[in-house]
Chain A
Amino acid sequence: MSTTTLTHVQSRAALPAGLTVVATEIGGAALLGAFLLAEATPMVLALLALMGGLFAALQLRPRIEEEIVRAFHEARGLATVLAVAIVLVYPFFLGGNTYALHLLIVSLLYSVLALALNFQLGSANIPNFATGATYGIGAYTSALLAIHLGWSFWATLPAAAIVATLFGFLLGIPSMRTRDSYLALVTIAFGIVIHQMLNNLSWTGGPNGLVGIPAPSLLGHSFMQPIELFGFRLPSQANFYYLSAALLGLAILSAKRLHESRVGLAWNAIRADELAAKCQGINVVWYKILAFGVDAFLAAFAGTIYAFYISYISPDNFTFLVSVTIMTMVIVGGMDNTLGVILGAFLLTMLPEKLRIFSDYRLLFVSVVVILFLILRPKGLFPQRQRHYGGQ
């Protein structure tokens, strides 16, 4: 018995890393595509069951996951190139399905927001219920600049990020003195104050929001225009798809770099024990405020793209509930695990949309699923991994 298991393992270990990477990435992309395009209820449920099955397999045979992680580690170059290629050609496989493309864009933007929050919640254990607010500040800043001052999208992007980061630092100041539940309440209160201001001030358009945000253009190509390439024609949403994908790429890159830097280490030290971190000479206050700033910076980018994509924003897009949803994505996906967080964001964005059969009870269903997740898998789909030291 034991010898057969051994040979079995050896034969799997002999599987070339490149093959594993290709199979995993293409398989994952195909599964996502099938889920995006599935419309009939039985199909959606079957795909959900398949995902559940795959996940259970990973769960029961931890070796599979280790193998995949190892393969990705070995064939890192191939994995990156293939991933970029898949992202680039993906819209072609969705055909002209604009709804699927729209879902994909929203999922990408929420992934960025979840990754932004992950710097705080996952890395440093700072509860921030105001990501929705910084997202809103970014969206409103860029929309106001574009509508009233005629700034182009590319100019509003950094401006929105700077404004939101300043607000992020401002929000971070109380974290010098408050912690845990008290800090959570400060961020909740901040989020509500921002939402109420957007709702009541006249120059933000009040409850009606801002309409007519002009579409961006790049090198003379307006984002309203469909993309035509080699005789293929992609709907205009594809412009924003590529833009959001680029932003997510940037977010993943910064998550990776920060995680491996001193900053990431300091955040993890604060998560482990704030007082001990302080005793080690880590400037706890600065790193906590920095976490707020980084979160706001990335969230503002996502907000700007969202505002220009939908061309209409209102305070309802940035409520307390949005912040809670983003937080849930991080927790359900797996704190401090980039892949887990992105998966959580995709799942929680698409699940309510795909469960149209429950129409009126979607929110109910999703909340129940969240509670079940928290009870059954408290560390998230993909728990945080052990840090690897020594460069490679």
Chain B
Amino acid sequence: MESLILQHLLNWLVLGSIYTLVAIGFSLLFGLLNVIHFSHGDVSMIAPFVALGSLQVLFGLAGSSAGILPILAALVIAVLVTGLVGIGADRLVISRFRHSPAMMALVATVALGTVVRELIRGFYPQGSNPKSFPAIVQGFVEFGGLRLPALPVLIVVSTVAIVVLMYLLMQNSPIGMRIRAVAEDGATARLMGITPARIFAFTFFLASAVGALGALFFASYAGVVRFDFGVQLGLIGFSAAVIGGLGSMGGAILGALAIAGIETIVQANMADGASYRLVFAFALVILMLCIRPSGLLGKPVFEKV
């Protein structure tokens, strides 16, 4: 009984971590650009495919037989490539909608997500088939008398580390200050000698790279990856960011934990919970937004005519 609860708890934390990593990207980009990068989930989902590809091309390994070093190298490559794709997505498409209505950018990024998805499906070798993805680590870790599977622990611990690092980066580093300056007032930031274009590129790289980690963890935890996983991951990440309060990092984490919590509870307590988990997750989204329209930690907006 106790181990079952522990298992659910761990599952909740892992899902929460994965959603957090995706949601932070939405928040970061919304805070800076006021744009919803709807293809964020699909762009992130490139990472597992790049990782699989580089494992095969560089190390001649297929799937689960890989050792720890090649896997680590593949993960780094995947994160870097995805970050660069993020910059590319901004340069090619998103940057053109900086001054148009938000709806335009939203629809354009939805279409961009389809493009990314279809490119993987059509041009990745056998892209339309599900592919097995290796566990990043195997075995168990002993922890104060508890014996826990290593992969979930790794996912949760790395997420905490990434979140702390991101926080420090945003609050204390020069680049973080520049990002916040551009988000506050782009024109004034430019007068202070900051190049907004560079800041945008860096932020897109950062958001996509962190999202890539989320997607890699997701693929590794599920043991399988498919070209269209990005839609759902992106939608949930976006929901998490919104119910937490767009633009707030703490909100993104809170939202991710809330959605993962609902999913875990439904899955654990309902007969066919697995098929209804999305219903409850998105019902929660609607409910939360009705109660607190600007999200849990979002600031209420005062408007001027």
A177:B239 contact, CB within 8 angstroms? no
B239:A178 contact, CB within 8 angstroms? no
Within 8 A of A (CB), among B224-255: 231, 235, 238-239, 242, 246
Q: Does A341 contact B (CB under 8 A)?
A: no
Q: Does B122 contact A (CB under 8 A)?
A: yes
> A185 is contacted by which of B96, B115, B231, B242 (Cβ under 8 Å)?
B242
B294:A182 contact, CB within 8 angstroms? yes
A181:B36 contact, CB within 8 angstroms? yes
A276:B290 contact, CB within 8 angstroms? no
Complex-state Cα separation, A364 to B303, whole angstroms: 40
> A121 is contacted by which of B103, B108, B110, B303 (Cβ under 8 Å)?
B103
Known contacts A186-B285, A371-B108; A178 and B290 CB within 8 A of each other:
yes
A374:B118 contact, CB within 8 angstroms? no
Q: Does A228 contact B (CB under 8 A)?
A: no
Question: B residues within 8 Å of A by Cβ?
Answer: 30, 36, 93, 96-97, 100-104, 106-108, 110-112, 114-115, 118-119, 122, 231, 235, 238-239, 242, 246, 272, 275-276, 278-279, 282-283, 285-286, 289-290, 293-295, 303-305
A193:B305 contact, CB within 8 angstroms? no
A185:B238 contact, CB within 8 angstroms? yes
> B285 is contacted by which of A181, A185, A331, A375 (Cβ under 8 Å)?
A185
B283:A177 contact, CB within 8 angstroms? no
> A371 is contacted by which of B93, B235, B275, B305 (Cβ under 8 Å)?
B93
Known contacts A186-B289, A192-B282, A371-B115; A279 and B305 CB within 8 A of each other:
yes
Chain A residues with CB under 8 A of B239: 185, 189
Complex-state Cα separation, A193 to B110, whole angstroms: 19
Complex-state Cα separation, A161 to B279, whole angstroms: 24
- How many A residues, CB 8 Å from partner? 43
B111:A127 contact, CB within 8 angstroms? no
A-B contact pairs, 19 of them (CB 8 A): A125-B101, A177-B289, A181-B246, A185-B239, A189-B285, A192-B282, A193-B279, A320-B231, A324-B107, A324-B110, A361-B118, A363-B114, A363-B118, A371-B108, A371-B111, A371-B115, A374-B107, A374-B111, A375-B93
0 or 1 for each of A76-119: is its CB under 8 Å from B? (1 = yes): 00000000000000000000000000000000000000000000
Complex-state Cα separation, A166 to B148, whole angstroms: 50
Known contacts A174-B286, A189-B285, A364-B118; A331 and B100 CB within 8 A of each other:
no
A178:B293 contact, CB within 8 angstroms? yes
Q: How far is the CB of A200 from chain B (nearest CB, A)?
A: 5
Q: Which residue of chain A has the shortest Cβ distance to B97 in the bound complex?
A: A374
Chain B residues with CB under 8 A of A199: 275
Chain A residues with CB under 8 A of B101: 125
Q: Which residue of chain B has the shortest Cβ distance to A371 in the bound complex?
A: B111
Q: Does A196 contact B (CB under 8 A)?
A: yes
> A182 is contacted by which of B272, B276, B293 (Cβ under 8 Å)?
B293
Q: How far is the CB of A254 from chain B (nearest CB, A)?
A: 23
Known contacts A275-B305, A364-B122, A368-B115; A185 and B107 CB within 8 A of each other:
no
Q: How far is the CB of B52 from chain A (nearest CB, A)?
A: 21
> A178 is contacted by which of B36, B111, B289 (Cβ under 8 Å)?
B289
Q: Does A180 contact B (CB under 8 A)?
A: yes
Q: Which residue of chain B has the shortest Cβ distance to A321 in the bound complex?
A: B114
Can you add 18 more A-B contacts, CB < 8 Å, to A182-B295, A189-B286, A371-B108? A125-B101, A125-B103, A177-B289, A178-B289, A179-B293, A185-B289, A193-B278, A196-B275, A196-B278, A273-B305, A360-B122, A361-B118, A363-B118, A368-B111, A370-B108, A374-B108, A378-B100, A378-B104
Q: Does A327 contact B (CB under 8 A)?
A: yes
Known contacts A185-B239, A324-B107, A374-B104; A200 and B290 CB within 8 A of each other:
no
Q: How far is the CB of A273 from chain B (nearest CB, A)?
A: 6
0 or 1 for each of A362-373: is its CB under 8 Å from B? (1 = yes): 011001101100
Chain B residues with CB under 8 A of A374: 97, 104, 107-108, 111
A328:B107 contact, CB within 8 angstroms? yes
Known contacts A185-B238, A363-B118; A331 and B107 CB within 8 A of each other:
yes
Chain A residues with CB under 8 A of B102: 180-181
Complex-state Cα separation, A185 to B295, whole angstroms: 12
Q: Which residue of chain B has the shortest Cβ distance to A319 in the bound complex?
A: B231
Chain A residues with CB under 8 A of B304: 275
Chain B residues with CB under 8 A of A367: 111-112, 114-115, 118
Complex-state Cα separation, A347 to B264, whole angstroms: 44
Q: Which residue of chain B has the shortest Cβ distance to A278 in the bound complex?
A: B305
B104:A275 contact, CB within 8 angstroms? no
B107:A275 contact, CB within 8 angstroms? no
Q: Does A47 contact B (CB under 8 A)?
A: no
Complex-state Cα separation, A103 to B269, whole angstroms: 46
Q: Does A197 contact B (CB under 8 A)?
A: yes
Nearest 5 pairs of A and B residues by beta carbon: A364-B118, A189-B282, A367-B114, A177-B293, A367-B111
Considering residues A178, A200, A324, A371, which has the most beta carbons from chain B within 10 angstroms of its beta carbon?
A371
Chain A residues with CB under 8 A of B111: 328, 367-368, 370-371, 374
Q: Which residue of chain B has the shortest Cβ distance to A180 in the bound complex?
A: B102
Q: Does A184 contact B (CB under 8 A)?
A: yes
Q: Does A188 contact B (CB under 8 A)?
A: yes
Chain A residues with CB under 8 A of B290: 173-174, 177-178, 186
0 or 1 for each of A117-131: is its CB under 8 Å from B? (1 = yes): 000010001010000
Chain A residues with CB under 8 A of B293: 177-179, 182
Chain B residues with CB under 8 A of A364: 114-115, 118-119, 122
Considering residues B102, B107, B276, B305, which has the most beta carbons from chain A within 10 angstroms of its beta carbon?
B107
